[in-house]
Amino acid sequence: MNQLLEDLLKVIRLERLEMNLFRGESRDIGSPQVFGGQVLGQALMAAAATVEARLVHSLHAYFLRRGDFDAPIVYEVDRARDGRHFSTRRVVAIQHGEQIFNMSASFQSPEEGLEHQVSAPAVPPPEDLDGAEAAIRAALPRLPAKLARLLGEHRPFDLRPVEPLRMLDPGTRPPRKCVWLRAVDRLPDDPALHRCLLAYVADFHLLDTALNPHGLSMLSPNLVMASIDHAMWFHRPFRVDDWLLFAIDSPSASAARGFTQGHVFTRDGRLVASLAQEGLVRVVG
């Protein structure tokens, strides 16, 4: 397996300390704090470890404090309810004696029901698009050292934006975008793991969509951005090592907060997940 992906699996898979208590390590990916998607993925893995024969269908999470990647994170799971068809879990992530994150998640037994979905947007296939790394490499010489380190890190996912990346000269654009994504190597056949990894990677491209109408990018000076909350709904089976299309839009920005939402489709057009995020988007100075 690809070394970066293998290391990500090591991070996502937690050490069990007690029946409902888990410990996870972190990775420094170049950001000033623990990557929010890592905490989200680990928390979902902790919750899933306390549920049998049921898969997560929704989660709602809040980011409370910055995580320190030099210290372990402890995840405490509250088994709120196990019903006939659904199980509910609450997870609190603790570091240095304080809560840094909390999440509620609901799990469901396999069940048949009514079926409908929205259609996937008509976009070019991933094979016809350039990877994000090429645009990032071209911009690195013009970036400050800290930003160059953050963006220059190799990732265990292949990202192919439908709209060209314009980090240094973003211009004003509609508040929407589409991105193809898949893991760089084959993953184990574990549906719970694929849902945890989708939670991990979903934090990459959501919030910055709120910048499009304002001529800003994540590299703009005097811009402060941070995730506040994150919600996901899982509709149908999928694999993160197959191409997935993220179709994202931002209906609103106000009060120094940006709101974004998106749908995730397989390449044959099945809607497999929906997501939403609100985050701090503040221009200072």
Do 249 and 173 meet the contact criterion of CB atoms below 8 Å apart?
no
Do 210 and 282 meet the contact criterion of CB atoms below 8 Å apart?
no
Active-site residue, selected from the candidate residues 95, 203, 208, 274: 203
Active-site residue, selected from the candidate residues 26, 106, 261, 277: 277
Active-site residue, selected from the candidate residues 38, 95, 227, 250: 227
Element (H, E) at 135: helix 132-139
277 is catalytic: yes
Per-residue CA distances from 56 to 47, 49, 52, 248, 278 (Å)? 9, 11, 11, 22, 21
Count CA within 13 A, CB hemisphere, residue 70. 1
Whole-number Å distance between alpha carbons of 258 and 267: 28
Angle, CA of 54, 58 and 63, to the nearest 5° = 125
Instruction: Supply φ then ψ for residue 64, to 5 degrees.
Output: -100, -40
Whole-number Å distance between alpha carbons of 171 and 251: 19
Q: In b/e form, how buried is each residue of 52-86, taking b as 16+ CB within 10 angstroms?
A: eebbbbbbebebeeebebeeebbbbbeeeeeeeee
Q: Which residues pair with 176 in a beta bridge?
A: 249
Residues with active-site annotation: 203, 227, 277
